[in-house]
Amino acid sequence: MKNRKAIIIGCGIAGPAAAIFLKRAGYEPYIFEAQPDHDDYTGLFLNVARNGMRVLRELGVDGQIRAEGIELRTMSFHSGRGKWLGKIEDPSPEPQGWTVKRGFLHKVLREAAVCEGIPIAFGKRLADLCIAGSRVTAVFEDGSSVEGDLLVGCDGIHSRTRRLILPEAAEPDYTGLISFGGFSRGVKIPHEPTQHMVFGKKAFFGYLVKRDGEIYWFGNLDYPGRPTRKELQSIPQAEWRRVIDGLYRDEIHPVPEIIRATESEIGVYPIYDLVSVAQWYKGPVVLIGDAIHATSPNAGQGASLALEDALVLAKCIRDCGSLEQAFRQFELLRRARVEKVVRYSRSIGQRKHATNPVQVFFRDLMLPFFLKQAGRQSNAWLYDYRVDWRERLTV
Ligand SMILES: Cc1cc2nc3c(=O)[nH]c(=O)nc-3n(C[C@H](O)[C@H](O)[C@H](O)COP(=O)(O)OP(=O)(O)OC[C@H]3O[C@@H](n4cnc5c(N)ncnc54)[C@H](O)[C@@H]3O)c2cc1C
């Protein structure tokens, strides 16, 4: 297997992780990223759940996330009228996860790949693919191309790789919600390992407080059509600030104060998901992470699933006799889990939709029962997933 070349499309989360594991499996990986450089894609923040942290530990970078992130053990819920709805506490001695800025996670993974001697080319947007027998050629928008023995599509929910190899595949579904958020300072709220959630009168709101007092906040709102990220970003910041201020002006303390204390730009994203694609690979090309199964952010699992995929795929390639067998095994090991998570996350999101006062009244009435039930249910299937890189697969 020595010197077999792996082309990795995308340097988000799945991409650098897959490159490092594939190098350990004997491949020579090269990463190609569409963004012109690595300063360009910082985004907001995300929770790396403890199942994802296990993969980061295998990569040797979990310590950086623990040092920088906000530890998360409890989720606490209020209604917009100030009624305490309940909390969900994870019984495990390990935190449920760690919340970090997206740009920080990208940086940690990218630097880990560079440390392993893996080249990363920026400004390389995949345009086309040519599969000839066991070889694959990737053609980029700038006219350049590269040939390899394996190509891993890690190019996210609107994956060009997926559309090229599986033109008939299902497209992502719009959930009807947008997510927006930012970073605030100067509101006196104690730091604790808790994510606070408010089922607001007009829109959902969540926040966490870092040790140094910085507040990471986000909101979800019903939004019509099938907006693209570009369309939402083309709306001026001042307009978003006006709309968001109006949504939360009459909410309980400290929601309006947090909004007013926002120091960063407000990031706005449409929420799509992708539950099930019939096929995950074609010839020497395989898809992982959001490119093949994308979950809405409600369960805080998309990044962790992408990391798990990277490890499991490389392990299958290392231990199977052929790529075809490895891809089949990868899909067999992963499909049921990832589809279950996407559906679970979708079901959580449905509770964020209430928009009229009658719906809000009944939602607030039912939520304490739902939260009690959710607290009793074991989430071990979600968080306690383990894959041992050293253990060999028996196929
Ligand atoms: C608002 C929001 C909040 C979220 N919060 C959480 C959370 O708290 N926890 C969590 O686990 N998940 C969260 N997620 C989901 C998480 O972001 C994704 O599941 C995760 O980023 C998937 O990683 P990935 O590497 O598969 O794809 P991405 O992170 O999307 O990376 C894809 C990369 O490919 C590049 N690319 C795209 N097209 C091309 C091309 N044609 N050629 C070359 N490169 C290309 C992109 O520039 C990008 O760098 C959230 C998502 C959103 C939208």
Q: What is the pLDDT of residue 18?
A: 98
Q: Give, in order, the Cα–Cα distances in Å from 122 to each of 33, 37, 41, 125, 304.
A: 5, 5, 12, 8, 24
CA of 343 to the centre of ligand 1 (A): 18
Q: Across residues 350-374, what is the average pLDDT?
A: 72
3-state secondary structure of 305: helix
Q: How many beta carbons lie within 10 A of that of residue 25, not counting itself?
A: 20
Number of H helices, E strands in the chain: 12, 19
Helix/strand/coil (H/E/C) assignment for every residue in 213-224? CCEEEEEEEECC
Q: Edge to edge, what strands does the sheet with 135-140 contain?
A: 126-132, 135-140, 145-148
Residue 196 identity (one-letter amino acid): H
Span 303-319, pLDDT tens digits: 999 999 999 999 999 99
CA nearest ligand 1 atom 51, residue: 297
Closest residue by Cα to residue 10 from 160, 156, 155, 161: 155
CA–centroid distance for 20 within its chain: 19
Q: Answer yes or no: is pLDDT of 369 > 80.
A: no
Closest residue by Cα to residue 279 from 392, 369, 163, 169: 169
Span 184-235, pLDDT tens digits: 999 999 999 999 999 988 899 999 999 999 999 999 999 999 999 999 999 9
Name which of 261-270, 288-297, 349-358 the model is least confident about.
349-358
Q: Which residues contact 313 (CB under 8 A, 6 or more apart)?
A: 18, 21, 152, 286, 288, 326, 330
Q: Edge to edge, what strands does the sheet with 173-184 contain?
A: 84-89, 74-79, 194-199, 204-209, 215-222, 173-184, 267-273
Q: Mean pLDDT score of the chain, rounded to an integer?
A: 93
304 lines ligand 1 (CB under 6 A): yes
Q: Which atom of ligand 1 is nearest to the CA of 99?
A: 8
Span 14-50, pLDDT tens digits: 999 999 999 999 999 999 999 998 865 578 999 999 9
* Assigned token pair, 256: 């309006």
Q: Answer yes or no: is pLDDT of 2 > 60.
A: no
Pairing of strands 4-9, 150-153: parallel
The answer to whether the CB of 181 falls within 8 A of the CB of 218 is yes
pLDDT confidence bin for 375, thresholds 50/70/90:
low
* Assigned token pair, 391: 């253990």
CA atoms within 13 A on the CB side of 393: 21
CA–centroid distance for 287 within its chain: 15
Containing 103, the helix (H) or strand (E) segment is: helix 102-115
Cα angle value 48/277/59 (rounded, 5°): 30
The answer to whether the CB of 284 falls within 8 A of the CB of 149 is yes
33 lines ligand 1 (CB under 6 A): yes
97 lines ligand 1 (CB under 6 A): no
pLDDT confidence bin for 355, thresholds 50/70/90:
low
Q: Across residues 70-93, what is the average pLDDT?
A: 89
* Assigned token pair, 363: 């939602």
Span 130-185, pLDDT tens digits: 999 999 999 999 999 999 999 999 999 999 999 999 999 999 999 999 999 999 99
Q: What is the pLDDT of residue 90?
A: 84
3-state secondary structure of 381: helix
3-state secondary structure of 151: strand
Q: Across residues 241-260, what is the average pLDDT?
A: 95
302 lines ligand 1 (CB under 6 A): yes
CA of 146 to the centre of ligand 1 (A): 24
10 lines ligand 1 (CB under 6 A): yes
Closest residue by Cα to residue 97 from 356, 301, 329: 301
